[in-house]
Chain A
Amino acid sequence: MKALVENKVQESQQFITFLLEDQEYGLEIFKIREIRGYAPITPIPNVPPHVRGVMNLRGTVLPVIDLRMKFRLPPVEYNKFTVIVIATVAEKTVGLLVDAVSDVLMVANDAIREAPDFGAAVDTRFINGVFQSKERLTVSLNLEELLTESELIVPQQVA
């Protein structure tokens, strides 16, 4: 039984899936620290627009990034069902504003496929792969590639 589970752990990994404009994206569960409901964000100046500001998570100040804006999707009003996914990226903690958390999935490794090659015109570095979840495809994101260093650093003076 244990071996089976181990085996399973080896052969599969858990994903947290969330929604952005009805599209499901997945994140490896190990990168996730916790999921929080929406709380007011303190805006900071002189940052890209998708960096909404900073938030205080039990004494730790971390930047909050609106993935919608990052993905150049039309912005929406934040509400009480807006979710902030606290993730660890390159040993930095960051808050990600998403529409909603949809599921916790166990996905077999061989079920994950490579991101399709769109050619040189499209940067596919931030896509780990694509897997089937229920009826639709879920894009597994590579947060280390997606988020740059500047986005992950909280200005010290604010902190």
Chain B
Amino acid sequence: MKNLSIRLKLILSTGILALGYLLFLGLVVWTGADMQRHLHLASDSLFPAALAGQDADAGFQKLTQDYKDAVLTQNAALLGSADEDAQRVTAQLQIVRTRTAENPSLQQQVSLIQDQFKDISSQSKATYTKMVSTPDAMDEQLMATVKNLAVENTSLTKSLKDMNETIAKKDFQGELDGVAKTTTLQRMLTVVLFAMAFGFAFLVTVVLEKQISVPLKLAVDVLRQVALGDLSVSLPVHTGDEVGKMAKALNEALDKLRTTLQEVSESASNANTSSQQLAKASDAISSGAQEQAASLEETSASLEQITAAVRLTAENANTASELASGSHKDNDRGRDGTSAIAAMEEISVASAKISEIISTVDEIAFQTNLLAVNAAVEAARAGEEGRGFAVVAAEVRILAQRSAGASKEIKGLIQDSLRKVERGSELVKRVTQLVGEIALSSGEQSAGIEQVNTAMNQVDQVTQSNSAQTEELSATAEALSEQAAHLMEVISTFTLSHAEENHRDRQPFQSYAANSENPNQQPIHVQHGNPVTRPQTRAGRSTASAKSDSNGRSNKRVKARPPVLAVAVPSGPAPEDTSFQEF
């Protein structure tokens, strides 16, 4: 019964009512037909039968009178009239018989009367005809017959009277009684049927009221709660009919709505957090851009200095290069036509000359030494006379040796100085080369610094545009944050779980759920343990996250997706720093 659909229930109840009505109709039809039958019987059968009976009685009386008159008057014509009367009685009796076909006892009675009349009629006709034709033939036998006929006549008359009485009183009355009985039955059945129909209708109404109206009312209440923003409610209806299905669908819809709203809430919270972070990040970027701009300015200034320094270096290097290579005509030495290298070469040449001279001196010293030795030999040969000469020779030899030593020393010195000059020359060449390279590098450096300058300008422009865009970003983030906060405000008007019901004392369906006939079937409720919308945790979590945020950027992204439903505080003032404009 419970799980029958309402349609079926309605069809069933209406059908039952229609069946009752049909029964009632049948009853009426039946009772009407019965009454009609009775009345018909009374009017079509009994009434003509009664008339015919009375006519037959009257006919018989006339017949008897006619026979009597015929005998008395000796009028044979009256015999004919008596025959007519007899025929009339027979006909009337036949009518009675046909009309009372439904009453066998009456039929039998009529049949007896017919037999009796036939008997009497034929006997009477014969007797009275004889008496009329032969009025003198009155004998005892005839008299006995007449007497017998009279008795039989009386009997028949009585029988006819009985029959008429029976028809008139008994049967007619019986039929009328039957009509009355049928009417009474009809009335009684009508009352019973009506009572039954009324009871059934009442029952159906009650049942339907319980199965449709009450759940619908519940649904209306639930929907009203939903309209008030309380999404924690659910419909505790668990029937299998359309209302139950509707309740299930509504619960599912509510569940879905709840889940969606929770997700939206989470998303809004996340969006809020993210937008706050975004705002912070954009602030950081903004301040970074300012720092960058300041650094850029400093760098620019430094670059200018570097440029000047490099230019100076390049000039100096060029000058040095020219000086070293001797191509610089304005220089003092340049006027003499010499340079470091030229001087070195001259020194070299001079050294070579000195070397030559020294070698000559050396040779001379060698020769002198030889001469001195020879002189010493000659002096030794000369013996005593050459002794003085020997001394002189020794002196000369010593001088020669000294000059040889000196020349050797000079030679060494010259060679040393030559080596040094060569080295100096090489160094100068090297220096010249290096200075040339320095000059070249300085030029390249200059060009590079120009490029760096250009790049710096571009970076400056980019930084400025970054700064502007960061401001926009900041504003956007703020707007986003506000939107998220608004969204969360909007969502916070919805109650997503029963956790808040205790505070609001709103439990309109709990009692119904408790009274529901199947206590095992719990109504669908939102999980109480869901921390997402728990209001107690909001403040602590949000302050905690705020603290961690204020502690620095150690956790740039709040990892655990804190269910912060707290209204987003716009993160600081927008970077309206006008120092950007100075750039």
Residues of A within 8 A of B (CB): 2, 5-6, 9, 14, 16, 29-30, 32-37, 80-81, 83, 101, 104
Contact = CB atoms under 8 A, between A and B. Distances in A.
A80 B377 CA distance: 21
Contacts of B394: 104
Contact of A34 (B366, B377, B384): B377
Contacts of A30: 380-381
Interface in B372-413: 373-374, 376-377, 380-381, 383-384, 387, 393-394, 397
Contacts of A29: 376-377, 380
B369 interface: yes
Contacts of B377: 16, 29, 32-35, 104
B44 to A, nearest CB: 189
A14 B376 contact: yes
B396 to A, nearest CB: 11
A33 B374 CA distance: 8
A104 B381 contact: no
B367 A104 contact: no
**Chain A binding surface SS class:** strand
Nearest to B404: A81
Contacts of A14: 376, 380
A5 B373 contact: no
B370 interface: yes
A101 B387 contact: no
26 contacts: A2-B384, A5-B384, A5-B387, A6-B384, A9-B383, A14-B380, A16-B373, A16-B376, A29-B376, A30-B380, A30-B381, A32-B377, A35-B373, A35-B374, A35-B377, A36-B370, A37-B367, A80-B366, A81-B366, A101-B370, A101-B373, A104-B376, A104-B377, A104-B393, A104-B394, A104-B397
Contacts of B416: none
Contacts of B373: 16, 35, 101, 104
Contact of A80 (B363, B383, B387, B393): B363
A2 B385 CA distance: 11
A30 B382 CA distance: 10
A109 to B, nearest CB: 16
B357 to A, nearest CB: 16
B440 to A, nearest CB: 50
A149 B298 CA distance: 102
Contact of B366 (A2, A32, A37): A37
Contacts of A37: 366-367, 370
Contacts of B387: 5
Interface in B335-389: 363, 366-367, 369-370, 373-374, 376-377, 380-381, 383-384, 387
Nearest to A33: B377
Contacts of B366: 37, 80-81
Given A5-B384, A5-B387, A30-B381, A83 B376 contact: no
A128 to B, nearest CB: 17
Residue among B367, B376, B377 having the largest count of chain A Cβ atoms under 10 Å? B377
A36 B367 CA distance: 9
Contacts of A33: 377
Contacts of A32: 377
B120 to A, nearest CB: 214
Interface of B: 363, 366-367, 369-370, 373-374, 376-377, 380-381, 383-384, 387, 393-394, 397
Contacts of B370: 35-37, 83, 101
A150 to B, nearest CB: 27
Contacts of B397: 104
Contacts of A16: 373, 376-377
Contacts of B369: 101
A145 B387 CA distance: 30
A29 B377 CA distance: 6
Residue among A6, A30, A32 having the largest count of chain B Cβ atoms under 10 Å? A32
B462 to A, nearest CB: 80
Given A5-B384, A14-B376, A104-B377, 6 more contacts: A6-B384, A9-B383, A9-B384, A16-B377, A33-B377, A104-B397
Nearest to A34: B374
A5 B366 CA distance: 30
A138 to B, nearest CB: 16
B388 to A, nearest CB: 11
Contacts of B383: 9
A44 to B, nearest CB: 26
A94 to B, nearest CB: 15
A30 to B, nearest CB: 7
B495 to A, nearest CB: 120
A104 B396 CA distance: 12
A34 B393 CA distance: 14
Q: Which 9 A-B pairs have the closest CB atoms?
A: A104-B376, A29-B380, A35-B373, A32-B377, A34-B374, A35-B370, A14-B380, A35-B374, A101-B373
A9 B374 CA distance: 19
B382 to A, nearest CB: 11
A2 B387 CA distance: 11
Contacts of B393: 104
Nearest to B380: A29
A107 to B, nearest CB: 13
Contacts of B384: 2, 5-6, 9
A104 B379 CA distance: 11
Nearest to B397: A104
A6 B383 CA distance: 10
Nearest to B376: A104
Contacts of A104: 373, 376-377, 393-394, 397
A134 B417 CA distance: 33
B397 to A, nearest CB: 7
A37 B370 CA distance: 8
Contacts of B380: 14, 29-30
A9 B366 CA distance: 28
A71 to B, nearest CB: 22
A56 to B, nearest CB: 18
A42 B387 CA distance: 37
Contacts of B381: 30
B454 to A, nearest CB: 71
B408 to A, nearest CB: 11
Contacts of A34: 374, 377
B374 to A, nearest CB: 5
Nearest to A81: B366
B421 to A, nearest CB: 27
A101 B376 CA distance: 13
Contacts of A36: 370
A30 B374 CA distance: 12
B62 to A, nearest CB: 216
